[in-house]
Structure 1
Amino acid sequence: MSTMATTNTTLTGERADLFQALANARHFLRFTVQGLSDPQAAQRTTVSELTLGGLIKHVSAVEKQWQEFMVKGRAAMAWDGVDFSQMPPEAIVAFYNEFRMQPDECLDELLENYTQVAARTDALLAEADLDVIHELPSAPWFTDTHWSVRRTLLHIIAETTQHAGHADIIRESLDGQKSMG
């Protein structure tokens, strides 16, 4: 049986495993930006629009949105029912800016925000009923119609892991440093 101590709670079994998987993904994402200046964190190094600071910003925003879903369900999702083809230009710009570190942003602040978001997710993981099921919002990228809190946490883990891999490629392109291997 797995056991994991969080700030105020000792998690066991499935919760400890979920916590550890998320902690590992977060570690690699944070490790990838270690020692970077703000200009480096904002630099595009591939044909992608993604930057290292932008990935930290995006993962924080996505994790925060899924936290709200775990608590409030479908109603918490701002894009529920949005016709993406009818989005005003400023909304499209705001969406793409979520993936970019802006000139007035600094990496340390983005990381601190990520720490705060992560702490709330960890608290939800420790306390939430993993079997509660919420209807997913209407969106073209969902094939299922409902997710449990457990499935939502698995999605956060997958999203964080995927973006840690993106970050590793961007960092290697920036200065040759690799998070692994």
Structure 2
Amino acid sequence: MTDDDRIRLLLLDALDAQRRHVLAAIDGLSDAQLRSAVLPSGWSPIGLVRHLTLGGERYWLHTVMAGEPLDYWPADRPELDDGRPADWRVEAHEATDAVVQEYRDAIARSDEIVAALDLRAAPRRPEPEWPAERFPDLAAVLLHVILDAATHAGHLDATRELLDGRQHLVL
């Protein structure tokens, strides 16, 4: 196994672990619990899943790395967003199971994109204001997505414990 293969495997295993952690953290929650904001910042577990779908998987891997259009990004609606970015919004008419399926679908597309790219592949659609060294390649982007997903998985752990007492790590 080459060093690149080993690094790719480590990054993809870490990303997959965080994705599974997120899905496990919301598994078994009712629709009402998924829509509940239990922390003072006001986000809901299903809103966090929407953010990981749009602001994580789709933005970083589909748009930045693969160059796909950003036409999925929701318009800001301050009356609905409570000060959060629009990619956290799940409207009342949207089914929570559909939002979770969108996350799973985004993951599947991300996996296709990552499989087709070398770790040194440059982003096809970087943001113009990024310094060249900030996200120079797929490896750096994957690390960013892993850290974001891991951070939010921890947020979901705390939220889940507040909602129903379930603990991911029993200390």
**What interval of TM-score do these two structures reach, taking the shorter chain for normalisation?**
0.7 to 0.9
Asked if the contact 2:122–2:136 (Cα under 8 Å) also holds between the matched residues in 1, the reply is: yes
Judge which range, 92-101 or 147-156, deviates more: 92-101
From 44, 47, 52, the counterpart of 1:51: 44
Amino acid at match of 1:37: S
Matched, 1:115 2:104: yes
* Matching residue of 1:21: 14
For residue 15 of structure 1, report the CA deviation from its aligned partner. Answer: 2.0
Q: Extract unaligned runs of 5+ from structure 1.
A: 3-11, 79-87
More strand by share: 1
Separation (CA, whole Å) in 1 of partners of 2:169 and 2:97: 23
Asked if the contact 2:52–2:149 (Cα under 8 Å) also holds between the matched residues in 1, the reply is: yes
* Matching residue of 1:5: none
Aligned residues: 160
Cα 1:89–1:110 shift into 2, 3 Å? closer
Q: With structure 1 as the length reference, what TM-score do the two structures score?
A: 0.76
Separation (CA, whole Å) in 2 of partners of 1:50 and 1:180: 22
Cα 1:97–1:173 shift into 2, 3 Å? farther
For residue 97 of structure 1, report the CA deviation from its aligned partner. Answer: 4.3
For residue 118 of structure 1, report the CA deviation from its aligned partner. Answer: 0.4
Asked if the contact 1:128–1:149 (Cα under 8 Å) also holds between the matched residues in 2, the reply is: yes
Q: Which runs of at least 4 in structure 1 moved beyond 3 Å after TM superposition? A: 88-97, 142-146
Separation (CA, whole Å) in 2 of partners of 1:33 and 1:58: 14
Separation (CA, whole Å) in 1 of partners of 2:70 and 2:147: 19
For residue 89 of structure 1, report the CA deviation from its aligned partner. Answer: 6.5
From 68, 72, 77, the counterpart of 2:67: 72
For residue 33 of structure 1, report the CA deviation from its aligned partner. Answer: 0.5
From 143, 152, 163, the counterpart of 1:163: 152
SS at match of 1:72: coil
Separation (CA, whole Å) in 1 of partners of 2:154 and 2:19: 11
> Percent identical across equivalent pairs?
26
RMSD: 2.8
From 127, 144, 151, the counterpart of 1:137: 127
Separation (CA, whole Å) in 2 of partners of 1:48 and 1:128: 37
For residue 128 of structure 1, report the CA deviation from its aligned partner. Answer: 0.4
Cα 1:173–1:124 shift into 2, 3 Å? same
Q: Extract unaligned runs of 5+ from structure 2.
A: none
Matched, 1:103 2:92: yes
Separation (CA, whole Å) in 1 of partners of 2:109 and 2:127: 22
Asked if the contact 1:51–1:100 (Cα under 8 Å) also holds between the matched residues in 2, the reply is: no
Separation (CA, whole Å) in 2 of partners of 1:44 and 1:20: 30
